[in-house]
Amino acid sequence: MGGFSNSNKVAADENTNPPTVLTIAGFDPSGGAGIIADIRTLVRFGCRPTAAITSLTFQNSQGVFGAIHETAESLRAQVLPILKEFKVAGVKIGMLPTADLVREIVRLVRDEYLPSPVIDPVIQSSSGHRLMEDEAFEILARDLMPLARLITPNIPEAEKLAGVNIINEEDMRQAAARIRELGARSVLIKGGHLDQESGVRSQESRIEAIDVLDDAGVVTTLRGEWIDGPPVRGTGCMLSSAIAAGLAKRMSLVDSISAAKEFVAAEILNAKLKTEN
């Protein structure tokens, strides 16, 4: 596949507006999560979506019934023609089931000068189906995480990365610091799972959705009202894609995350309103 060099691009202006964002993720044919959720999000944020599939999964809202994973070679074969034609301004990385795929992405980011990606480390589906091998997770943590602009683990993923238990906001901050020590530039720990399991309460005793951002040591707690709606699939996919879109549009990291959180909150609220009608 050596024929696709990154130097042979179509005229830059045609490619930069709207900015092109590449999602490298799993394909959920039912559209709730993965690449379809990513593309919907990227379009809503005014970006041109491009996509490379890491795994063809078989699922619907009831669960994941199986998957056929792509090889490193087929992933590379998907990505290189995109890089030849477009100036990719942002990258989002989702489901990475195998160690070979993680290694290939490390090569692509390093050798093809991809923008530092936003990584959503997807270990398992909400229904409990395993979407990543242990070895893939280890290589992601060791080799890919240090290349990322941001990694967006939920509580169980952050616990696995940091090797600690998380039961409150202070634990989230400590886990974020630990994940940065392991090589991440910035980490956003999503507290959604914490609210469901143990409840993080504000001074007014209102249950909040709390996310902790540690950006190169600058720690911010992002608070949002907890929306008590039906489970919405693909929220992690949407959040990371929306952040990649913001970064591609040259918004700051904090502004990209705030806009992404608003978008996901609106999706959850919509789902809640639909079930009430």
Q: Are strands 63-69 and 20-27 parallel, antiparallel or unpaired?
A: unpaired
- Report the candidate in 143, 178, 148 with the shortest Cα–Cα distance to residue 163: 178
Question: Mutual orientation of helices 99-111 and 72-85 as an angle, nearest 10°?
Answer: 30
Per CB under 6 A, the segment of 23-31, 45-53, 168-176, 203-211 that binds ligand PLP is 23-31
Q: How far is the CB of 9 from ligand PLP (least distance, A)?
A: 29
State the number of CA atoms in the 13 A half-sphere of 217 facing the CB: 1
Per CB under 6 A, the segment of 45-53, 103-111, 118-126, 134-142 that binds ligand PLP is 118-126
Of positions 21, 22, 25, 47, contacts ligand PLP by CB under 6 A: 25
Which residues within the stretch 86-115 sit at the binding site for ligand PLP (CB under 6 A)?
94-95
Per CB under 6 A, the segment of 208-216, 229-237, 244-252, 256-264 that binds ligand PLP is 229-237
Of positions 19, 26, 153, 246, contacts ligand PLP by CB under 6 A: 26
Q: Identify any residues that bridge with 188 across adjacent strands, giving them in sequence order.
A: 213
Q: Does 125 bind ligand PLP (CB under 6 A)?
A: yes
Q: How far is the CB of 202 from ligand PLP (least distance, A)?
A: 26
Per CB under 6 A, the segment of 20-28, 135-143, 155-163, 220-228 that binds ligand PLP is 20-28
* Tally of CB atoms within 10 A around 229: 17
Of positions 69, 149, 180, 233, contacts ligand PLP by CB under 6 A: 233
Q: How far apart are CA 107 and CA 160, in angstroms?
A: 24
Per CB under 6 A, the segment of 12-20, 97-105, 215-223, 232-240 that binds ligand PLP is 232-240
Residue 261: enclosing H or E segment and its boundaries? Answer: helix 253-276
Q: How far apart are CA 85 and CA 63, in angstroms?
A: 36
Q: Does 243 bind ligand PLP (CB under 6 A)?
A: no
Task: Could you list the beta-strand ranges (E) of the chain.
Answer: 20-27, 48-60, 63-69, 88-93, 118-119, 150-151, 186-190, 208-215, 218-225
Of positions 33, 51, 140, 257, contacts ligand PLP by CB under 6 A: 33
Q: How far is CA 7 from CA 14, 17, 74, 81, 96, in A?
A: 16, 19, 21, 12, 27
Which residues within the stretch 199-218 sit at the binding site for ligand PLP (CB under 6 A)?
none
Residues that bind ligand PLP in the complex, under the rule CB under 6 A: 25-26, 28, 32-34, 57, 94-95, 120, 122, 125-127, 233-234, 236-237
